[in-house]
Structure 1
Amino acid sequence: MQVGDVTTPFGRRPMTLALVRQQMAVAEIKPGKTAEKWKVFRDVSEARPLLGLQDRSLAVLDALLSFFPENELRQDQQLIVFPSNAQLTLRAHGIAGATLRRHLALLVEAGLITRKDSANGKRYARKAKSGEVESAFGFDLSPLLLRSEELAQLAQQVAAERLLLRRTKESLTICRRDIRKLITAAMEEGASGDWGKVELVYVTLVQRIPRTPTLAELTALLDEMTLLRHEVLNMLELEKNSANMSANDAHDERHKQNSKPELINDLEPSSRTELGADVEPIQERRSAALKAFPLGLVLRACPEIAAYGPGGAIAGWRDLMSAAVTVRSMLGVSPSAYQEACEIMGPENAAVTMACILERAGHINSAGGYLRDLTSKAQRGEFSLGPVLMALLRANGGDSRQVG
């Protein structure tokens, strides 16, 4: 075949500009380029979803390649095969005639083969006296050689996505197992907390898993499951800290009972500073119970905060805390209110809380008062970021997203 030749289809098949571009692109094949035909076929098979092909399309392409006598596709070769429909049907495992024509059209549409039709639409080759093929009419395999590198990249992309899908499924399965067993243990052993409500959230998430989920659907569900697992662990850690504090109180009472009566006044705080020394460990334990969630999940639930990061983006926790200070000033939250939140919740969780308030700014009358209220609840162990982030994650993932 001469490079750059363009032929129009025989009969009623229309000519399109896409077909013209496909045939002209053959001129771009580098001189001396080669590709192993079955390696290219394996890449096409792997990249089938991205190429819009079906299993039968691969069977037809396999049959076409079997009519090419050599193992390598070379730029300086005649790359046209010319089997009859009967021969193709036989090598394509008895595929029906109408099905054969449909999948040949799909291969042409996918840009994997091109047609070079004769005047009467027949497929044949014209040979010289030396026995070499001078010209042939049939299906040109040149696009496979032209796109061999591209097809290899598409195959790698599909393989990587398949691997990521499998790993995401595994992570979701492990997360589901963890949550289910933690909830069961908490309910059976009488841990404090509304575990019935937590179980309802879990069951709702499980029911949302599709029968054949996409990677995007699995990733979104894994994010929500991860948030729920964090919330369950936070509740259990609060339960543990509460039990430890009760045990410490009982130990202190026994210590006081064994002390001498005249020394009892020395055990009482004599100033506000000394009283604070006893309260700080309790606040630290409550702050520790409010664990910082993964930054990626926070940014998915609260995308608005990213615009206030350095350079309009957030690359780490330091950037998030810097953006939170900017948002605090913008929303009119006093420095003292934010400082108190940082002391009670920890700086990371205080920054996340500001990001959540920014997402709901249009529904909050006083951001400063709202932050003080949350800080007070956190000090009492009554506030957790998990449900807030889960609600925002669901809201920002749907069409009904609202930005304040």
Structure 2
Amino acid sequence: MDLPTTPRVVLSELVACWGEQDWERLLVWPSNDYLVGRTGLTDRAIRKSIRRLIDLGLIIPKDSPNGKRYAVKDLAGEIIDAFGFDLTPVYARRGEWTKLLIEQKQLWQIQKQAFDEVTICRRATEEAISALAEHYPEIDRAALEEDLKALKARTPARSKASVPAGLIDDWSLLRSRAEQAFLDAGNGGTRFRHTNNNNESPSEPCNKGFPKKAEAVRSTEQTSEQLSPELILEACPTLSDYGQPVRDLADVVAAGRYLRASLGAHESAWAEAVEEIGTVRAAIAVIYVLQLYEDDAAKNGGESRIKNPGGYFRALTRMVKAGKIDLAVELLAMRRRRMS
């Protein structure tokens, strides 16, 4: 129902007051002073929230002759009735709440996927423009940078209800333009590379999307048994951005290589990580940093405090090598937070 925080807190406290009496109606009778003490709200805010809950039909007032809320007891001291609020409407509509929650979760998942796609395109675009500026500063990037600035201004925070129509297509188009500009600059404006280094059989298929199995997991690389694909999937749901099933460590490596660009991390950062901590841990570090970035952005209204995920990835790699961070421990903690 998108209740504001104050009425929601008051309703929660009213529900918590129910004493599980075996009556036909679910009656509670807390005083305003009690609710003020429990919620920290003012008396005025309590009264205003109660009025809103009544107007919405979530609670029904049961007024006493003197307007106070209290329990009615028999001669033996047993509570047999009460004057206060009837919470039966909330319970009676539990089927409706369940259906609405399912619909809201489905809508949230759709919106999350849309925002994830926008984020991937934005990072790839920024990386391409940055690489263009670094390696080919003589190339005019003004149009790309202006379009990037305009698209950022049009892109709402993740806390907003939905991604505007056509925004994903516009981000995909800008990403393609930026990457094509970098490719053209590297090829000297021609359609082909200056030197053809492909010595493989021409009958071998070209992999345009995901790496086959990425780099092989080296037999000399010792990996903690706790660093299982199952743990990584449970701790880092952002791995769904990879778009391919993750069944073993080779798939984890492929996902890490593919998602590395989403961090804005240079290829040299990946090469350094592989050299320093091994292929598997390098891939897990990519996935872990990406999940940290996504979680922080979701918690802070779409703005993550991690301003440079690529640099964070490099720093994490060095801390893992130095033994200051254990990826298995970090993933277990992340999974615990997600399940709590």
What's the TM-score, normalizing by structure 1?
0.40
What's the TM-score, normalizing by structure 2?
0.47
